Amino acid sequence: MLKYLNILLYPFSLLYGLVMWLRNRFYDKGLLTAVEFDLPVIAAGNLSVGGTGKTPHVEYMIRLLKDHLKVATLSRGYNRRTSGYILADERSTAADIGDEPMQFHDKFPDIKVCVGEERMLAIPQLLGDEPDTQVVLLDDAFQHRSIKPGLNIMITDYSRLFTRDHVVPFGRLREGRQGYHRADCIIVSKCPPAMSKEEKLALEKEIKPLPHQRLFFTTLQYGALSDMITHHPVAVPKSATVLLACGIARPEPLLEELKRRYEQVYLLSFPDHYYYTEKDILKIKKECSDLPGTEKIVITTEKDAVRLHLLKGMLAEQNLQMAVIPVEIAFLFGEAELFNNFIFDYIGRHLPAPGQQ
């Protein structure tokens, strides 16, 4: 049945792909205008719909740059309950600016985080509010052609390479595969930590990076657990029963990591970017209490935590402790320094001299 449904969807994919191709051609030919700015603008995004691990890559660049330059991030603020341009402050919540920007704001209070659907208008507003900004990181902006970033980073999931995918609704691509031509840098994310050099060469041959493009491979690294409210470390024995409660696009890599750490792991999945309700808190508590074992723990992601924080009163009332597992990326084949230099070289060439910004 699914096979026949996919066949029926294929013509719609062709039509949508044609529309996106025409749109991109209009931008490429200058029939639609893309705005450039006089400071380094780095865009991180993907060709596919969600789940490529974009957020930890943006965080990697924040860590790389924040001690040297005045960094700001700009996101659309997907699924937030507000609209328009907002610069995050101490009162901001995930409902105001979206879960991923809120995660940046919580983890990196020394950078500026803002959201705005019309990013070509949001950057001037950001620079008006924070004129000392030296670098803007555009989050999930690969298809946002109204801005021409100085550096375009495209991230593709190792298990769902864009080279093997199709345009929605038949596949998961937001535009045709040829969209990768716009990238200055391609990152294959969520690779096996022990990926061989032979496989790396095979993927390089499959992706066929253009002469101007750099290709890197990264893997996910999960950190130690901490309490969602107090942020104190949480020690969990291997014999504990774990309930992973999360609303992310692809929980499978995290689920596999927890299964390596603990003997019994169960998944309670919610939609990506989901806003939890009080009923959901009760459901999570019941699911956990019904699991086997005497020692149990509920684990969630950092992205979920900023949304669950909206219900911290309910969590305290129900005496439901939730632990958060952080995730970072690591570059494979010893190429972290190559990537770092690639970023700093671009910034060095495009950073305005003092008084010129």
Mean pLDDT, residues 62-75 taken together: 97
Phi, psi (5° rounding) for residue 280? -65, -40
Mean pLDDT, residues 50-63 taken together: 92
Question: First CA to last CA across the chain, in angstroms?
Answer: 58
Q: Are 264 and 296 in contact (CB under 8 A)?
A: no
32's tokens = 């639609």
Taking CA 144 as the corner, what is the angle to CA 342 and CA 220, rounded to the nearest 5 degrees? 50
Percent of the chain with pLDDT over 90: 77
Q: Is the pTM of this model over 0.85?
A: yes
Taking only the tens place, the pLDDT of each residue in 183-199 is 999 999 999 999 999 99
Phi, psi (5° rounding) for residue 238? -60, -30
**What would the DSSP string read from start to end of 44-58?**
EE-SBSS-S-HHHHH
Q: In terms of C-beta density within 10 A (0-12 exposed, 13-18 middle, 19 or more buried), how is residue 186 classed?
A: buried
Residue (of 122, 117, 41, 42) closest to 83 by Cα position: 117
C-alpha count within 13 angstroms, C-beta hemisphere, residue 338: 13
Distance CA 267, CA 286 (A): 13
- The secondary structure of residue 41, as a DSSP letter, is E
Residue 330: count of CB within 10 angstroms of its CB: 13
pLDDT at 280 over 80: yes
Query: Which pLDDT value is given to residue 2?
Result: 45
Taking only the tens place, the pLDDT of each residue in 121-175 is 999 999 999 999 999 999 988 888 888 999 999 999 999 999 999 888 888 899 8
Query: Which pLDDT value is given to residue 353?
Result: 64
Mean pLDDT, residues 58-66 taken together: 98
- The secondary structure of residue 147, as a DSSP letter, is B
